[in-house]
Amino acid sequence: MASHKSALKKEHQDRRRRARNRSHLTRLKTELKRIRGVIARGSAEEAAKALPEAESILDRTATLGVIHRNAASRTKSRIARQVAKLRSV
């Protein structure tokens, strides 16, 4: 347990940041689960509509530093490829 003023402040900041990061990560995971479900159902039109929203949340989460920007880019690429595959079939 922190015992001096600066350590107490740091602990407080870490708790706040962790709560914020967890909420962003939860929102991201929920959105990814939703778009993957749409892709699994095979609905190309619905997937195409959901793609920009998922990409936006991925970008925002990476900008905030919750996930790495390369991880966001890789995830966007994989999902876009799956949506494109649905459209072509």
pLDDT for residue 12: 95
Give Cβ neighbours of residue 52 (< 8 Å, ≥ 6 apart).
none
Kindly write down the DSSP assignment for every residue of 20-76, as one continuous string. HHHHHHHHHHHHHHHHHHHHHHT-HHHHHHHHHHHHHHHHHHHHTTSS-HHHHHHHH
Residues 13-69 pLDDT 10s: 999 999 999 999 999 999 999 999 999 999 999 999 999 999 999 999 999 999 999
pLDDT of residue 59: 97
Reply yes or no on whether the pLDDT at 7 is more than 80: yes
pLDDT digits (tens, 9 = 90+) for 48-63: 999 999 999 999 999 9
* Predicted structure pTM score: 0.86
Q: Is the domain defined by 23-88 classed in CATH 1.20.58.110?
A: yes
Residue 60, φ and ψ in degrees, nearest 5:
-65, -45
pLDDT for the residue numbered 2: 77
Quote the CA–CA distance of 48 and 70 in Å, as a whole number: 22
Type of residue at 80: A
pLDDT of amino acid 89: 77
Domain boundaries, the chain: 23-88
- Supply the mean pLDDT for the chain: 95
C-alpha distances (whole Å) from 74 to each of 10, 16, 67, 78 are 33, 28, 11, 6
